Amino acid sequence: MKVVAFNGSARKDGNTAILIRHVLAELEKEGIVTELFQLSGKKIHGCIACYTCFEKKNQRCAVTDDVLNECIEKMIEAEGIIIGSPTYFANVSTETKALIDRAGMTARANGNMFRRKVGAAVIAVRRAGSTHVFNSINHFFFIGEMIVPGSSYWNLGIGREIGQVENDEEGIQTMKTLGQNMAWLMKKIYE
Ligand SMILES: Cc1cc2nc3c(=O)[nH]c(=O)nc-3n(C[C@H](O)[C@H](O)[C@H](O)COP(=O)(O)O)c2cc1C
């Protein structure tokens, strides 16, 4: 079994990545293969609403000059998908939104191709707005017929400068519990 995690932060290896790694560590303890794919520095732009995905139905986005189809391929091959985002103006980052819109529309054009995969959101935040980010990412999972595990709190960690999330004891525990619950759920579904 495999979980692919996307870090939608503009900052590579920042707080979102740190939080995601705590989730991945728990998954790996349960023998699940993991991959962290960071969007920082990679070209990814928004949906152009061409609807070619609905014409071709080939599990690909028609826009091919950026990293999006590589992300879709990783989602297809994994049983679990984590989408992590920092909180930017109480919402997801631009990179995360591009991923959600284009992977989401391509999935809808192809019979909800991520259905019954397990999905989890991970959010870094300095102060406020993170529950909106959490909801935005969960909208992607739920409309795609995906299965979403809970944790001991909403999946967020608090910190501004890189590394500060490690001081958020409850946030780190939330990530660990999320990883444990995600592994438990994946084994129930796929083993
Ligand atoms: C453009 C921008 C907008 C931000 N907006 C918010 C916000 O609305 N609420 C908040 O609490 N923090 C906000 N932050 C702070 C980040 O969410 C915070 O630093 C987070 O830890 C960054 O995660 P990263 O290290 O993975 O990039 C913002 C940061 C940036 C760069």
Q: How confident is the model at residue 115 (pLDDT cuts 50, 70, 90)?
A: very high
Ligand 1 centre from 14 Cα, in Å? 10
Whole-number Å distance between alpha carbons of 92 and 44: 14
Q: What is the pTM of this model?
A: 0.99
Whole-number Å distance between alpha carbons of 20 and 125: 13
Tokens of 75: 């989602």
Task: List C-alpha distances in Å: 185 to 14, 126, 188.
Answer: 28, 30, 5
Q: What is the mean pLDDT of residues 60-79?
A: 98
| Ligand 1, atom nearest to 162 Cα | 25
Per-residue model confidence as pLDDT tens digits over 160-174:
999 999 999 999 999
pLDDT, residue 161, reads 98
Q: How confident is the model at residue 151 (pLDDT cuts 50, 70, 90)?
A: very high
**φ, ψ for residue 27 (rounded to 5)?**
-65, -40
pLDDT, residue 13, reads 98
121: helix, strand or coil: strand
| Ligand 1, atom nearest to 159 Cα | 21
pLDDT, residue 1, reads 97
Q: Facing residues of 5 across strands?
A: 36, 82
Q: What is the mean pLDDT of residues 131-159?
A: 98
